[in-house]
Amino acid sequence: MPKNPAASVIPARTASPRLLWLLGPALVAGVAYLDPGNVASNMTAGAQYGYLLVWVVVAGNVMAWLIQYLSAKLGVVTGQSLPEVLGQRLRHPWARRAYWLQAELVAMATDLAEVIGGAVALNLLFGVPLLWGGLITGAVSMVLLAVQNRRGARPFEFVIIGLMFVITIGFMAGLFLAPPDPGGVVSGLMPRFEDTGSVLLAASILGATIMPHAIYAHSSLARDRFGATSAETTEEAARIETSRIRRLLTATRWDVTIAMVIAGSVNLGILLLAAANLAGVAGTDSLEGAHAALAAGLGPVVATFFAVGLLASGLASTSVGAYAGAEIMHGLLHVRIPLLARRLVTLIPALVILGIGVDPTLALVLSQVVLSFGIPFALIPLVALTAQRRTLGAWVNRVWTTVAGVAASVLLIALNGALLWLVLTGA
C-alpha cells in the first residue's frame, strides 16, 4: 500500500492511543454538511413548505452516515484517497480527464455556495459589500489551508471543529426561543412531495447533505491521519496491522456518528426554525430576508447568532472544499498546482456572480442542485470499490452494506431523474 510520509499517522508498533484522539476526520468532512448551501436550501424549504420536507433531511443524513463511513474506510485500509484509487483504475487518459472535469465542476459549485454564504454573512454583520466579502472569505480560507499544509492534519481539525461548534450554536439558538410544533415535525416524516418546487428543494437538500466533495475529502483526510502502514511483511507485522485497522475503523464509526448527529441536528434545526417562524413571511426566500425576519420576530440577538453561524459555515466549508478540489486534481490528473493559484481560479465564478448582482440565495440553491447531480459519480465508484475484495481485502463490505449503498445510489439517481423530468416538462 502507498505511504504518505507527510501524514500524521499512528505508528504500527506503538501502543494504541485512546479512542478520543482518533476522532476528527469525519468532523472535518462533516463541515461540508453545514455549508451555506445547506442553510439556503433548508431555510427555503422550511419557509416555503413548512414541515413537508423534514423526511428529506432525515433520510439524507442516514444515507450520509453510510457514505462517509465507506469513504473513510477506503482511506484507512488502502492508504489512498478515492480520487487516487480512481486515477489508477481509469487507465485511459481521456477517461480520467472527463471524470476530473465533472468532479472539478462539482467542487467549483461547492466553492460557489461557500464563498457566497461567507460574503452574505459579512454583509449582514458588518455591511461589507458582497464582492469584498467574497474576497475576504477566500483569503481567510487560504489562512486555514496554510494551517493544514504547515502544521499537519490535527491542528487543521481543531480549527475546523471549533468553527463547527460556532455554526451549531449560531443556527440552533433560535429554536430555544421559538420551538417547532411537534405535530408538524411528526407529519413531516411522511415521505411526499407537493409540487415541482418541493422536488427541486428536495434535490437541493440532498445535494447539500450528501456532497460529492465530502466523499472525496473524507477518504483523503482519513489517509492523511491513518493511511501510512508498515512495510514489514512478517506474520507479527501483519497481526499488528490488522489490529491497527480494526481499531481505526471502530474509531471511524464513532467519528462519523458524532459528525452526522451534529450535522443532521443543525440541518434539521434550520428547516424547523424556518418552518416555525418564517412560513408565509414575505421575503424569507433569501438569506437576507430570513435574517431580517428573524430579527423582527425573535430579536436581533437570534439574528446575529444566525449571521455568525453563516459566517463560520462559509469560512470552514470553503477551506474543506478547497482541500477536496486539490485532492481531486492530484488523484485523477497526478498534477499539483500552487494552492494560491488554485484558490484564485476557483474563486472566480463566485466573485463574478457577486459582482453582477445575481441573487445570492438563488445561486446557493441552484449550486446544491448541481451537487446532487454529481453524487452518483462519487457514490457509485465508492460503493463498487469498497465491495471489491481486491481493493479492501479482508475489510471488504458485507453484503448488507453493499445493498444499502446500492439502494442509496438508486434512490438519489431516481430523485435527480424525476427532478430533471419535472423541470424540463414544466410539470
* pLDDT value of residue 195: 83
Whether pLDDT at 14 is above 50: no
Per-residue pLDDT tens over the stretch 87-141: 999 989 999 999 999 988 888 887 887 888 899 999 999 999 999 999 999 888 8
Whether pLDDT at 211 is above 50: yes
**Which candidate, 61, 89, 87, 409, places its Cα nearest to that of 262?**
61
* pLDDT value of residue 72: 94
**Which candidate, 99, 121, 178, 184, places its Cα nearest to that of 316?**
121
Per-residue pLDDT tens over the stretch 236-265: 777 878 888 998 999 999 999 999 999 999
* pLDDT value of residue 402: 95
pTM of the shown model: 0.86
**Which candidate, 45, 42, 40, places its Cα nearest to that of 120?**
40
Residue 377 grid coordinates: 459519480
* pLDDT value of residue 233: 59
Where would I find the H helices in 152-299? 153-177, 182-187, 196-209, 212-226, 235-277, 287-298
Question: Once rounded to an integer, what is the mean pLDDT over residues 304-324?
Answer: 88
Question: Once rounded to an integer, what is the mean pLDDT over residues 319-328?
Answer: 84
* pLDDT value of residue 6: 37
* pLDDT value of residue 8: 39
